[in-house]
């Protein structure tokens, strides 16, 4: 039996639900593009949708209590209406992403006791620092929620490409659970029922073998997975589990549904697993003063692209991507504090950043790409990357909310 991973009990929408309206992109995307969300709300209309079970981060303002209540009422209504049917097993996910590539993942449950976002030795670790201000609303929703619809992606370091890829090679042997086009240009997604998944979980946990860890990382690092996307959702789930487990007996803690979070696992060597930078958009400030101050801080033989309404320019920066990301983030945070009302947004995709700068002014920082092949060694031997250091795929390629899971008894 595995100790960290678990066969999930998944809730999927009944066949009469319009799946193209049901599945929606992660709430932390398109944070500077209200038109995206307005179009999506218009498309979904009155249909059941995961859009109504989350609060897009662009709307984290105003009367949050009312917004949270609306989310909770929507979840309760779906349960009362009998909107779901249960499925117990792993789901092999095939997702079309930009450039015609396919990203393959595996839906499973993992033990939140095996995760921590701090820089400590745990089998499942964060890859980047957590923005603590983004956790309270997620925890507030989870406090009273009966369901979770995760967009988290865990990364595996299976250099032999045998486990998930082995399942995918035999995908035609598995019944198809869903197959449809995602809205807003998200590509096509297919899900296959892997009901005999216990052996798969055991093979995944075997990645913790000390000899293999020594060979990969230079030490027995004890790392199984890294959180690639959804760091804040996983952190919020961890906080809530740590809260409620204090009210449970040791026996109740063992299999409480809130202890296990649903996520998609993707091999970091998957052909469709592309790491993209997350750019910084600085606004409500003197643009030239900001650029001058940043240029005075950064040094090195590399360069950083700067976008303004006047076009693109470059300033010197460290050659190492991780160093540039760290120094830029440190500078931006200090600048925001020292120069109110300056603000920062995190924007995916070069074109989206350019559109925002042209439409609203401000300064766009084109962040460098962190190499995927170096991610696990960085996490093991150095620690977390700065917050919002990278993204898996373009914004429209992010994981969509689709599968659900109960988190209450």
Instruction: Annotate 230-242 with b (16+ C-beta within 10 A) or e (fewer).
Output: bbbbbbbbbbbbe
Q: How far apart are CA 163 and CA 204, in angstroms?
A: 7
Q: At what angle do helices 231-244 and 136-144 cross, to 10 degrees?
A: 50
Residue holding tokens 């209200």?
A: 34
Q: How far apart are CA 283 and CA 32, in angstroms?
A: 11
Are 72 and 144 contacting, i.e. CB atoms less than 8 angstroms apart?
Answer: yes
DSSP 8-state assignment for residue 191: E
User: Given this model, what pLDDT does residue 135 score?
Assistant: 86
Q: How far apart are CA 363 and CA 287, in angstroms?
A: 6
User: Given this model, what pLDDT does residue 1 score?
Assistant: 61
User: Given this model, what pLDDT does residue 68 score?
Assistant: 95
Domain borders along the chain are 5-273+393-406, 279-369
Give me 107's structure tokens: 């839906």
Q: How far apart are CA 194 and CA 177, in angstroms?
A: 10
Residue holding tokens 């309270």?
A: 136
Q: How far apart are CA 24 and CA 178, in angstroms?
A: 15
State the pTM of this model.
Answer: 0.87
Q: How far apart are CA 350 and CA 395, in angstroms?
A: 10
What is the number of other CB atoms lying within 10 angstroms of the CB of residue 101?
Answer: 16
DSSP element (H, E) containing 261: strand 260-267
Are 133 and 236 contacting, i.e. CB atoms less than 8 angstroms apart?
Answer: no
DSSP lists the bridge partners of residue 390 as: 277
Give me 288's structure tokens: 């030239």
Of 338, 372, 366, the closest CA to residue 353 belongs to: 366
The beta-strand segments (E) located in 138-196 are: 147-148, 153-156, 176-181, 188-194
Give me 233's structure tokens: 């959702």
The C-alpha angle with vertex 239 and arms to 116 and 84, in degrees rounded to 5, equals 105
User: Given this model, what pLDDT does residue 131 score?
Assistant: 77
Region class of 115: left (phi > 0), else alpha (psi between -120 and 50), else beta: beta
DSSP-derived pairing of the beta strands 153-156 and 260-267: parallel
DSSP element (H, E) containing 264: strand 260-267
> CA–CA distance from 215 to each of 161, 166, 207, 208, 220 (Å)?
17, 23, 11, 11, 9
Give me 156's structure tokens: 């595996």
DSSP element (H, E) containing 304: strand 302-308
* pLDDT of the chain, 409 residues: tens digit per residue: 679 999 999 999 999 999 999 999 999 899 888 999 999 999 999 999 999 999 999 998 888 999 999 999 999 999 999 999 999 999 999 999 988 899 999 999 999 999 998 877 899 999 888 777 778 889 999 999 999 999 999 999 999 999 999 999 999 999 999 999 999 999 999 999 998 899 999 999 999 999 999 999 999 999 999 998 998 899 999 999 999 999 999 999 999 999 999 999 999 999 998 888 999 999 999 999 999 999 999 999 999 999 999 999 999 999 989 899 999 999 999 999 999 999 999 998 899 999 999 999 999 999 998 888 888 988 888 878 887 888 888 889 999 999 999 999 9
Q: How far apart are CA 390 and CA 398, in angstroms?
A: 12
């Amino acid at each position: 039996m595995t100790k960290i991973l678990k066969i999930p009990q998944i809730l999927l929408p009944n066949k009469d639900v319009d799946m193209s309206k049901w599945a929606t992109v992660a709430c932390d995307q398109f944070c500077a593009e209200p038109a995206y969300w307005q179009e999506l709300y218009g498309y979904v209309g009155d249909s059941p949708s995961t859009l109504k079970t989350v609060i897009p981060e662009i709307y984290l303002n105003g009367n949050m209590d009312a917004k949270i209540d609306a989310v909770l009422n929507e979840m309760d209504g779906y349960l009362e209406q009998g909107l779901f049917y249960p499925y117990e097993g792993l789901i092999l996910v095939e997702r079309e992403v930009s450039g015609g590539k396919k990203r393959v993942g595996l839906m499973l449950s993992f033990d939140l006791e095996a995760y921590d976002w701090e820089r400590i030795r745990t089998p499942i670790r964060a890859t980047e620092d957590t923005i603590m201000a983004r956790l309270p609303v997620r925890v507030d929703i989870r406090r009273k929620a009966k369901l979770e619809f995760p967009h988290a992606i865990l990364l595996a370091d299976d250099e032999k490409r045998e486990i998930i890829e082995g399942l995918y090679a035999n995908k035609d042997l598995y019944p198809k659970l869903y197959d449809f086009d995602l809205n807003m240009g998200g590509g096509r997604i297919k899900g296959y029922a892997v009901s005999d998944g216990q052996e798969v979980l055991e093979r995944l946990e075997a990645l913790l073998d000390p000899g293999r860890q020594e060979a990969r990382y230079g030490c027995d690092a004890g790392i199984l997975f890294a959180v690639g996307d959804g760091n804040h959702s996983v952190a919020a789930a961890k906080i809530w589990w740590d809260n409620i487990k204090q009210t449970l007996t040791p026996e109740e803690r063992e299999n409480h549904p809130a202890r296990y979070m649903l996520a998609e696992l993707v091999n970091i060597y998957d052909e469709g697993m592309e790491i993209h930078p997350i750019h910084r958009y600085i606004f409500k400030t003197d643009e030239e003063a900001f650029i001058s101050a940043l240029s005075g801080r950064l040094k090195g033989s590399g360069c950083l692209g700067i976008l303004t309404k006047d076009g693109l320019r470059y300033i010197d920066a460290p050659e190492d991507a991780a160093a540039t990301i760290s120094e830029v983030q440190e500078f931006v945070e200090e600048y925001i504090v020292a120069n109110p009302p300056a603000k920062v947004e995190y924007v995916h995709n070069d074109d989206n950043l350019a559109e925002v700068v042209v439409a609203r002014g401000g300064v766009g920082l084109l962040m460098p790409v962190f190499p995927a092949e170096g991610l696990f060694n960085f996490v093991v031997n150095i620690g977390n990357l700065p917050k919002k250091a990278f993204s898996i795929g373009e914004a429209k390629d992010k994981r969509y909310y689709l599968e659900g899971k109960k988190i209450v008894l």
